[in-house]
Structure formats: C-alpha cells, structure tokens
A and B are shown apart, each in its own frame.
Chain A
Amino acid sequence: MSAVHTAITTAEQQHRIYKAFDWIIIPIVVLVIIGANHIHAMLTMGDWDFWIDWKDRRWWVTVTPIALIFFPAALHYILWNNFRLPFGATLATAGLLIGEWANRIANFVGWAYFPLNMVVPAEIIPMALCLDAILLISRSLTMTGVLGAMLWGIIFYPANWVIIAPFHVPIEYNGTMMSLADLIGYNYVRTGTPEYIRIIEEGTLRTFGEDVTPVSAFFAGFISVGAYFLWLGIGKWFGLTTWMKRV
C-alpha cells in the first residue's frame, strides 16, 4: 500500500509555495543569464562592443545584432513554450547590459583606468522590447522570427545613433581628419590593441556608395532571422527535461 502525503492543504499555501518558487528560481535564472550571455557576447562581438572606435557603420552594425539574438531566441522558446511569457529577449539583453556595465566600470575603468565614455556598451534593449512585443501581439514564434528578428537587426543602428553620434563629429588632429571616436582610440594608449586590429569599414561597400549602414542593417536583420530560428532549436534542446525526469 502506498500513499502520497503533502504538507500543502490549502490554496493559499499552494500560492505561497508557488511564489517562493518564483523568488528562488528567477534570481538564479537572471544571474545565469547575465553570466552566460556576457561570456557569449565577449567571445562573439567583444571588441566591437568594448571600444567606441570600433563602433563603425558596417561591421559593428552587422556583427552585434546577429551575435546578440542567440540568447533572446533560446529564451523565447523556453519561456513562451512552457509559460507563455513573452519577455525572453528583454531578460537576455537587460541581463547582458547589467553584466557589461559591471565589467566596464570594474575592469575597464577601475583596473585599467580607461575613461568610461570610451567603453560604453551598445544599447540593445529597444530591439528586445520590439521582439518581445511582436511575440506577445502575434503569439507566434514564427512571426516573431520573421518580423521581429528582421526589425531587431534594422533598428540596432538607429537606436544607438543617439549615443554614438557625438563621437562621430570630425576633428583635425596633427594634420589628419579623424572622428572624436578615432581620436579617443588614439589618445588612450592600448598596448595590446593597435590601430590596425580594428575590424571596421574600409572604403565603403563600393557599389552602394555611402549607403553602407542601411545595407548592413538589412543584412544583419536577414541573418538574424536565420539565427533566431536556429537558436529556437537550441532553446528547445536546452529546455528538455530528460535529466529532470531521472532526478
């Protein structure tokens, strides 16, 4: 003979337990996302996001949205499929930014003494809000992948222009024209990061003349669509409960 005994006897107790579960799990998940997404971001787009003189209108615009849609897509799958919660992208990007700001202030400024304006991270929350909102409105991961991920890539540069525009004002320096971002990169000596190591636009896209940014942004959006669906699959794999069942 067997019987299941439980300490929960009322709906109120059950509610309290559910809430306690939230308060235990959510902070842990947030910390894991901050750490994991931060490592991922440093490995995939590191210097583009570290330095103001890497934030160009071609490579930065292309690489950053593509690299950063991975975690939002995976979290979208897990949170939407299991809980119908549409904030995976915002959770991933806000977590990343918390980690990035902590890193920039403690490491880049606190230890290495770089000025903070040189190492401000890219703004990515507006893209995440759009992605989440489209998921909520459409209630479809497919629609979110097609429309939201495209929008994710396209609005990255406009959303950041308000932050980086001041650094693109020209200056004459020792007979050379530079942007203020270039000058900051030149002034503040980085022994291990010489000028040539920057992977930034050189000589425009030729056929497209000066319209580098829109082309790069659309390309980033296009690839982000593919990356979104790929990472939905990875999110699905991460969300498997095979091992939990064994436990």
Chain B
Amino acid sequence: MFNIKKTVLMLMAIMVGCIALYAAPALAHGEKSQAAYLRMRTLLWYDVEVSTTKLQVNDEMTMTGKFYWFYDWPSNIAKPEVAFLNIGIPGPVFIRKASYINGVSGTNSTRFEIGETYEFKVILKARRAARVHMHALMNVKEAGPLIGPGRWVEVTGDMADFTNEVTTLTGETVDLETYGLANAVKWHIFWGVIAAAWLLYWIFQGPILIPRYKKVKLLNEDADDIITPANRMVGLVLLIGTMAVVTWSYYHAHSQYPVTIPLQSGQITIPALPDAARGVNVEMVDARYRVPGRSLEFTIKVTNNTNSPIRPGEFTSANVRWMNPDVSKAEPADSHDPVASNGMTYEGGAVMPGQTKLLKVACTDAAWETYRLAKLIYDPDSRFGGLLFFFDEEGNRSVVALGGPLLPVFI
C-alpha cells in the first residue's frame, strides 16, 4: 500500500544521495559566467605569465603581466577610483609576499585611469599542498572582481613545514602563522572559565526555572527579595574583579608592547605606463559577429605613424587570444588557457610607415561559444572591445584598444 511518509523519506534520501555523489569540487572562479560586455570592455589583461607551475611548500613563484583599462568603460560599471590588485585562489594556498604595479608596492588600494596601461608583478610563496587554478584579479570598489587569465598551479609538500617569519620595527622576529595566538587563546579561556563559573553558580542553586518563576509571580512587587545579600556580594566581587583584571591587562599589554600603530589604510595613485600604441592609430569602421561561423569580423582604418611596416598579429579580449601565426605565435599554457593559435586572419597586407589603409580582420574560434562571448549580441549594451597587437618586422609591438557596436549575422 502506498505510504506517503516512506515515499517522502525515500525521495529525500535519493535526492541527498544524488547531490552528495554529484557534488564535485569547484575548480574555477566563474570567469565565464560574467557578462560578455563586462569582460570585453573593462579590464583587458595581456602578457600574463607565471614563473613556474609546480612548486614545493615554501617555494616562491612570480606572476607578471599587464592590464589596460578599456577606454569605452560601460556606464553601469563603477570606474576604478579605488581598486586592489589581488589573486584569485581558493583560500591562502599561497601567501602574497609582495605585489607591484608599475614598480610601486601594491599593499594599498590604488586609483587607476581609464584608457591607461599598467604592468604588475605578484610574488607568492606556497603555503599548502593543492592543485589550483590561479588567476590574476583586480577588485574594483562597487564593480567587483575583474578576473584575469588563469593558470593551473600545483603545490606539493607539507603545510606543517611552512613558516612566515618577519622582523618588526622593534626588532622582534615572529612567525605570522602562529603569532599572538597562544596569548589570545589564553585570555579567551580565562574569561570563558569565569563565565562558566558565573553561570554554574546560578544553575547549581537547585532547579532554577519553575520554582523561581513561581516565586517571582507569587512575590510580585517584592520579587527582588529572591536575591539574597550573599548573591549581591558575589555580584560586587565579580564587578570589581572584572574591572581590575581588565584594567591590569590593558596596562600590562601597554608595557609589553609600548610601540604600536593603528591599522594602515592610505591609498596611493600610480602613474600609468607610456602609451603602448607607439604611434599606431585605429578607427573602427564596421564590426559584425557571424553566428554560424563563430567569427568576429571587423574593418578598421589603420594609420601607421611608426618607421616600420606593421601587421596585426593578435587580438585579445576577455582573456581569450586569437593569434595570427604568420605574425605572432602562441600556444595554450595549459588545458584551460584559451588561445586560438590560428584564430586570426586579415586582409589588406602590411601598413607602411605614414600610410592609412583599411584592414579587414576576422577572429574565428569556438571560444566565442565556449567562453560565452557570443552572448554579447543578446546583451542590452552589445558593444565589444579588445586589444589589437600590431608587429613590425623586428618584432616591436604596438598595442591598440578598439571597440564599437557589434552587429550579428545570423545567416
């Protein structure tokens, strides 16, 4: 016979079992889930490299690269008035030993200029064994995290071997892994014992709920008589004792640590790098996204004010790279590095020094779909953006930001 209780319990058990079996560890940071226009027209990262991808606990690694604050910043996204260069990792697998933006220490938050380029360097020290997808990351106040390219990094070894020793300005060398912990625990235990004694003093005065409730209701306005002079004396001792310990501990801490400073919160402004375009100007003429072919096709008017012929070798946007192998080569650094090694083609030949000409560029790859960039055409603000890299014959690079409205081609 159908038993609704049993059926519900069984369904719940099946559901819990399925969830438990299906739940897989989170291996990424949702980088594909951000809206395409957000990834293409905010912060454009390039030249991101890590010094190593396999290291032991206590080994150091360096992440370097550049980022460009896109000139056509979406109006609904807060501008980088306050931003912090960060690293996207699941918890402190590494500690951040140092970070620099254009050579300036990045310990504080920073203001950035739209339309400018900066370079960064982050030095990390491995803390615990893990295999993680590590990202460069920029937190922008009121805009959230703007995520950069990721790399799979594997740390081996034992976290117990990790130390983080520093020397203070008062000359003391301490390990930040455990510094101050024993003292904090000691004080929490001390006050915890006093609190427990106080609670037990009352609880062990016999049954306290029903008899006291009845007495309070019976005595009505004289209910305070339940409190005995001995109780009040205990209260007085508790008050004086607590105040004495607090006062003593305060002055004791002052004598132990006579030199202390408040938390530091200043912000800095860092000058941008020189213009990476190096005399190459680009105007967007027309851009279309060919849905069946998964291809961005744009026509640009290029003016070459350098002394050498130039050709486009790479287009990058939203951490995806489309390469023109005739001009510039790159391969994926790992399984999750979106590089379309043959993704870019163009028509129009080299642009000679002093010449202005039209180039027709096509960036084609399944990454438009797999990285959810094709969804741009369904966004309320369906304009795209990216960086186009030109190279001269000696390999000198000009980096030009371009963008504009994007028209879909469905047939």
Contact = CB atoms under 8 A, between A and B. Distances in A.
A57 interface: yes
Interface string B253-289: 1101101111111010000000000000000000000
A187 B170 contact: no
Given A171-B166, A191-B88, A195-B108, A179 B141 contact: no
A179 B168 CA distance: 9
A101 B232 CA distance: 32
A163 interface: yes
A189 B84 contact: no
Interface in B131-174: 137, 139, 141, 145, 159, 164, 166-170, 172, 174
A78 to B, nearest CB: 11
Given A18-B210, A83-B209, A166 B180 contact: yes
A176 B179 CA distance: 21
Interface string B220-240: 000110110001101110110
A84 B224 contact: yes
Interface in A46-78: 53-57
Contacts of B64: none
Contacts of B192: 94, 97, 125
Contact of A155 (B196, B235, B243, B256): B243
A55 B216 CA distance: 42
A126 B242 contact: yes
A52 B4 CA distance: 52
A107 B4 CA distance: 37
Interface residues of A, number: 88
Contacts of A87: 198-199, 202
B10 interface: no
B167 A123 contact: no
Given A139-B224, A158-B247, A18 B183 contact: no
A209 B95 CA distance: 35
A169 B172 contact: yes
A162 interface: yes
A43 interface: no
B91 A112 contact: yes
Interface residues of B, dominant DSSP = mixed
Contacts of A172: 169
A202 interface: yes
B188 A97 contact: yes
B94 interface: yes
B98 A174 contact: yes
A97 B192 CA distance: 9
Interface in A187-213: 187-192, 194-198, 200-202, 212
A126 B167 contact: no
Contacts of A212: 262
Given A91-B199, A125-B192, 19 more contacts: A82-B212, A85-B208, A94-B192, A115-B176, A116-B181, A120-B180, A126-B245, A130-B239, A158-B246, A158-B249, A159-B250, A170-B169, A176-B264, A184-B176, A186-B96, A188-B96, A194-B84, A194-B109, A197-B139
**3 closest A-B pairs by CB:** A18-B207, A136-B235, A194-B139
15 contacts: A82-B213, A94-B196, A111-B91, A117-B180, A133-B236, A133-B238, A134-B239, A139-B232, A171-B167, A172-B169, A178-B107, A179-B260, A187-B95, A189-B86, A189-B92
